[in-house]
Amino acid sequence: MIKKSLYTKYLFYLCVFGCTFSFVTDEIFDVGKIYPFFSWKLFSQPLGTKNYIEEFRIYSKKNSDSLYHRNAIKKTETFSTDEYVYTLYYFTTKAIKNPQNYKARLYDFCKHVEPDQDNYKIVLESYKPSDLQNIQNKNRYDTTTVVTF
């Protein structure tokens, strides 16, 4: 029993060191996360186990444009790419259920991450990762507009 608790203790310190090291390499040196268990998302949403993926994306356009274009998910001053995705997911699901309280917050988020655009819409993209490997056009998704501003 003592041996198990000793292993657990060392494993805990190893995890703390690995997370700290990954934080430093990602935030300060911008190398990326070295320690694979740095993010809890590895356990909660491992994309390798899903056959079908649905994700929200921001499409935007200027008033002078006629077509919306798909915006890339990118790191901003205040959001990492993961925070961007999860913030968009959170506000979009809330805006679908309760538009009067969350649609303005979702619009503010869109305006923050894509400030040079005038009109926004949130689109639910659905695809199978295995299908994207075999097709020529990698931007081929099933899309459904869920919120428009």
Rounded to whole angstroms, the Cα distance separating 108 from 111 reads: 5
pLDDT digits (tens, 9 = 90+) for 66-84: 888 888 888 888 888 888 8
pLDDT tens digit sequence for 107-144: 999 899 888 888 999 999 887 766 666 555 556 667 77
Residue 105 has pLDDT above 60, yes or no: yes
Q: Once rounded to an integer, what is the mean pLDDT over residues 80-97?
A: 88
Q: So what's the pLDDT on residue 16?
A: 79
Please give the mean pLDDT across all residues of the chain: 77
Handedness of CA 122, 123, 129, 132 (dihedral sign): negative
Confidence of residue 1 (pLDDT cuts 50, 70, 90): low
pTM exceeds cut of 0.85:
no
Specify the pLDDT at position 33.
Answer: 64
* Gyration radius of the chain's alpha carbons: 20
Helical pair 81-97 and 99-113, crossing angle rounded to 10 deg = 150
Give the pLDDT of residue 38: 58
Confidence of residue 30 (pLDDT cuts 50, 70, 90): low
pLDDT at 45 over 70: no
pLDDT number for residue 50: 57
